[in-house]
Chain A
Amino acid sequence: NAGVTQTPKFQVLKTGQSMTLQCAQDMNHNSMYWYRQDPGMGLRLIYYSASEGTTDKGEVPNGYNVSRLNKREFSLRLESAAPSQTSVYFCASVWDYRGYEQYFGPGTRLTVT
């Protein structure tokens, strides 16, 4: 049981380049989330998918898009990367939206130059 996995672990992009961060979970969880973590700002929600087939904006969605490919996979896309998107990105999943432990992936450290 791998839990929540993310690829890649590290990435360096130039301003304007695009990339997709991948997230997968093998716990049969229904809800999945993308956060970014910046120093002194905690974890901020970018997008989430409360159930397969639905996605919604979180607190900081600008510059990002998501796809819930199936129940297991939830990807985050940066269409035109900007230095302000330099951050650590965490994917998380939870069995049910009614308030249970969110399990986090190991994170992707992204630098945009």
Chain B
Amino acid sequence: GENVEQHPSTLSVQEGDSAVIKCTYSDSASNYFPWYKQELGKRPQLIIDIRSNVGEKKDQRIAVTLNKTAKHFSLHITETQPEDSAVYFCAASGSGNTGKLIFGQGTTLQVKP
């Protein structure tokens, strides 16, 4: 079935360092790949997304890369700040014209001051 694997499950970095979270997906028909940030007790919120016709997208300190051949995409956060501490989820669009998203298991990012 449809599956998204996300690694690592936890990540601890020093403030100012970079953080990288990686995801792989199983459905070659997936064409939309969003990343969500969830702070403790809050709802998930979209931080960046990418479509299958694009290899890389940047938004200030955040970037996402996509390798369709390998069915692999990654989130890169540069110059991390304590407020980046949260749980990050990757997702891939599911099969059919449904708008379904298949989510990874999440990565807890801790940025130490």
Residues of A within 8 A of B (CB): 31, 33, 35, 40-45, 48, 50, 56, 58-59, 90, 94, 96-102, 104-107
Which residues of A have CB within 8 Å of B113? none
CB distance from B19 to the nearest CB of A (A): 18
Q: Is the CB of A97 within 8 A of B99?
A: yes
B73 near A: Cβ within 8 Å? no
Q: Is the CB of A50 within 8 A of B103?
A: no
Which residues of A have CB within 8 Å of B103? 35, 42-44
Please name the residue on chain A nearest to B2 by beta carbon: A59
B100 near A: Cβ within 8 Å? yes
Q: Is the CB of A40 within 8 A of B99?
A: no
Could you pull out 17 A-B pairs where Cβ atoms are within 8 angstroms?
A: A40-B9, A40-B106, A43-B89, A43-B91, A43-B103, A45-B101, A48-B100, A90-B44, A94-B99, A97-B98, A99-B31, A99-B32, A99-B93, A100-B99, A101-B46, A102-B46, A102-B101
Residues of B within 8 A of A (CB): 6, 9, 31-32, 34, 42-46, 49, 51, 89, 91, 93-94, 97-106
CA distance A99 to B100 in the complex (A): 8
Which residues of A have CB within 8 Å of B100? 33, 45, 48, 58
Which residues of B have CB within 8 Å of A105? 43
Which residues of A have CB within 8 Å of B32? 99-100
CA distance A78 to B34 in the complex (A): 29
Q: Is the CB of A50 within 8 A of B98?
A: yes
Which residues of B have CB within 8 Å of A97? 97-99
Please name the residue on chain A nearest to B94 by beta carbon: A45
CB distance from A37 to the nearest CB of B (A): 9
Which residues of A have CB within 8 Å of B34? 101-102
CA distance A41 to B93 in the complex (A): 17
Which residues of A have CB within 8 Å of B94? 45
Which residues of B have CB within 8 Å of A35? 103
CA distance A99 to B60 in the complex (A): 23
Question: Of the candidates B45, B99, B102, B105, which one forms a contact with A31 in the assembled complex, judged by CB atoms under 8 Å apart?
Answer: B99
CA distance A97 to B46 in the complex (A): 16
